[in-house]
Chain A
Amino acid sequence: MGFLGIILALTGAALSVTLTCIGSAKGVGMTGEASAPVMIDDPSKFSKLLILQLMPGTQGLYGLVVTVMVMLNIGLLGGSPDLSLTEGLLYFFACMPIAVGGLISALMQARVTVTGVNIVAQKPSESGKAIVSATLVEFYALLCFIASMLMVLNINRLGL
């Protein structure tokens, strides 16, 4: 019976979307809190602040994509899910890079965007630089995402 395998795979998938979404929610929230007072002074900075605020939000999206890929690959979305224990464990571990890396990178990125809000407040013309600094952090979430994706997509090929 492949129930244990499915349970493990789903645990990984659930962690992947949950942890990244926690990180993103915290990050977007922090940046939003920081930008509100700036908008009181100058509402026209809204669009620049919005870009900054959304940046730590992408990790949740990466987590969701990995979750969906796992669900597709184990046949949970249409098909007959049947998984050995080993396969389940493999899916679980394949989810870990984006789950952990996404969570932490979202929090770290949020610290950059929060200070970026200061840049927008004082020198709006330099806001591009704040955004670029934040993408430097985001890149590590992307690497985790790519690693998780490639693992998830290739587990089938092992023929276990």
Chain B
Amino acid sequence: MSLVPMKRIEIVAMQRDAKKIVETLQRQGVVDISDLTPNAPEDASVAPTSPSIAQLDRHITTTTSAIATLESRARIKKPLLSGFAGRSEMLFEDFSREIKHVDDYLRIALSIETQHRLIDSERASIAHTYNHLQQILPWQSLDIPMQYSGTEKTVAFIGTLQGLWSDLRFNDAFQEAYGKLYNSEETGTEISVPPYLIEWVHTSKMISNLCLITHKSDASAVESTLRTIGFIVPTDPTSHPPKHRIDRLKSRIKASEDAISQAEIELSSYVDHLPSLYFLLDYLNMRMEKYRMLDHLLFTQKAFVLSGYVPSSVSENIRSVLECKFDIVVDIEDPAEDELVPAQFSNNILVSPVEDIVMTYSPPTRKDIDPNPVMSFFYYLFFGVMLSDAGYGLLLALGTFLVLRIKKPEGTTRKSMLMFMYCGLSSVVWGLLFGSFFGNAVYAIGHNFFNSDVALRAFWFNPVEDPMRLLIISMILGFIHILAGLALKFVNMFRHGQRLGAFFDVGLWWVVFAGFILIILNAVIPTGAPLNSIGKWLAIGGAIGLVLTQGRDKPSIPGKIMGGVASLYGISAYFSDILSYSRLMALGLVTGIVGEVFNTIGTALGSGIVRVFIFVPVFLFGHAINLGISALGAYVHTNRLQYVEFFSKFYEGGGRAYKPFATATKHFKIKEEI
């Protein structure tokens, strides 16, 4: 139950073995390889791996995209909660057999991508063709080419006018425009409009397509008149009758559609290869990791150096595995005092779920004590007080238990599921103590539907009726939490040989606290014993001790005095810390009262069977929301109490998490038989 002791490992071996050694280390998955190589020869250099990495990167992109293409076509609905699922297991012999087919799999991935790209480009071309078709479609009934310009004696104008036009409207507009252009106002003579023949090919509210034929001698006058009323010649007129082009475009769309369905058929024939592609992706990622790792090695002409950290428990195991396979020097030693050793916690199953909470705050250095055992107890405790409902706790615990059981998640997902399961169980306990089960559901349902006044009796007390009591309990719990934090500091300082410091920094505060507790005790339960004055003198004595010792690091005498006096300011810090635990009461009350509110709303309307129909959805919806928000609040505020109030007493962090070089696969867990 503590930080895992680490050893520094240094490997010197022949260059030709480099890849195999790295592969072995990857499969063992226990060495955290670092850049730091203190004993490296001067002419050593880093291997040029970037071209291989770039190529691998391309393959990974192709495979990922091919998997996505297939998954969307496989029509396998991903089951709910599949994100929690762990990897499936694969035997090492299967793994070695599969590796031989990697090139085939890559070819499959590439051809899937080709088909996918083909589909994309054909879709784009359909869209483009379709637009084109929409433009030409109104001309469908025109049986001459749109480029048709007329006969020997006539001229044809084929084009469009904005808006809805008819013969009548056209006549008027044409006459007016013609008059304006060619009638001279001075002479007052009126020239009659030249004769023309018009045919409306297609009219709509937006646009009207027309074909107008007139005598060649009038052509230029008619053209100018047409322009003034907004006649536009199409940009891309057909040289055949428009029907011809329409048919051509339609057949082009058809061809694209055929190509797409052909490609889709081909793609769906690959669906069975999905597991192979998953394997391929895992394999490529593993190689990627390996190449990245090769970047960390230092090569000389014939040899290479690798260094890192390994848990001491497995260090000898690694040495023997490597030494029996390769010509190699494995050097295992204790890390130096000032080295930043990667940190890994090792705790039992009750404590380990909260390890990630500490890691999120900051990984520990070797100066830190493992806070998890103490923290996990308070974590579950506080979460329970804040959620404080047996029903919600039961749902949370059952839900996480089922996910754990059915989906078998790994790593951090598994840890957080376990954590919420324990938190849920703790909420059940507190919910029973406070008599809360989905708010006051037992009473609300019994009272309104069964005419009985059965209520869930609180095993301890009901906080809605007596919130002051919960407030005081919250602060007492907080005080104990802070004392535990100080105790950890004491232990840690003691362990590092600062025995006197431990007494000055922690012991004296305890003396001050003891004084205050005696004074408070005396006020609450007057015993007659002179507790008040004993407490007063204890507090003053402790405070004097603090003033005398807390400035001891300062170089000058005034500095020492200032530091000592300033430390008394800590009293107000402790006071506000303890006050901060009032959130335990506030969040606990909110859960209970909001739950009751939903029960009240649900039972307020209707009677008999109608009331049941109103009650059930209100109950389900209301409590779902309340559970969500309350659990979120409990989680967030529990974290805060640990980070701000607890860790500030003893935990420094600033370390680096242990990340062993291993097979970072996504789909398969490779089991090696030893």
Contact = CB atoms under 8 A, between A and B. Distances in A.
A54 B640 contact: no
Interface residues of B, number: 29
B594 interface: yes
Contacts of A64: 594, 597
Contacts of A150: 467-468, 471
B402 to A, nearest CB: 19
A139 interface: yes
A8 B461 CA distance: 32
Interface class of chain B by DSSP: helix
A146 B585 contact: yes
A65 B471 contact: no
A153 B467 contact: yes
Interface in B557-593: 579-580, 582-583, 585-587, 589-590, 593
B409 to A, nearest CB: 15
Nearest to A126: B360
A126 to B, nearest CB: 8
B585 A68 contact: no
A61 B594 contact: yes
B594 A65 contact: yes
Band of interface residues on A:
20 to 34
Contacts of B471: 146, 150
A132 B629 contact: no
A142 B636 contact: no
Interface string A30-54: 0000000000000000000001001
A55 B636 contact: yes
A131 B640 CA distance: 8
A15 interface: no
A142 B639 contact: no
7 contacts: A54-B632, A57-B629, A61-B590, A68-B593, A135-B636, A142-B587, A146-B582
Contacts of B594: 61, 64-65
Contacts of B637: 135, 138
A143 B582 CA distance: 8
A132 B583 contact: no
A78 to B, nearest CB: 9
Given A132-B640, A132-B643, A150-B468, A62 B629 contact: no
A62 B468 contact: no
Contacts of A139: 580, 583
Given A65-B590, A136-B644, A142-B586, 5 more contacts: A51-B636, A68-B596, A128-B357, A145-B586, A150-B468
B50 to A, nearest CB: 25
B300 interface: no
B162 interface: no
A61 B579 CA distance: 21
B621 interface: no
Contacts of B357: 128
Contact of B597 (A68, A131, A138): A68
A49 B429 CA distance: 31
B583 A142 contact: yes
B593 A77 contact: no
A138 B357 CA distance: 20
B632 A51 contact: yes
Given A54-B629, A131-B636, A139-B583, A62 B467 contact: no
A131 B639 CA distance: 9
Interface in A126-154: 128, 131-132, 134-136, 138-139, 142-143, 145-146, 149-150, 153
Interface in A42-96: 51, 54-55, 57-58, 61-62, 64-65, 68-69, 77
A149 B636 contact: no
Residue from A125, A132, A134, A150 whose CB has the most chain B CB atoms within 10 Å: A132
A143 B585 CA distance: 11
A132 B467 contact: no
**Which of A51, A125, A135, A136 has the most chain B CB atoms closer than 10 A to its own CB?**
A135
B468 to A, nearest CB: 7
B633 interface: yes
Contacts of A134: 636
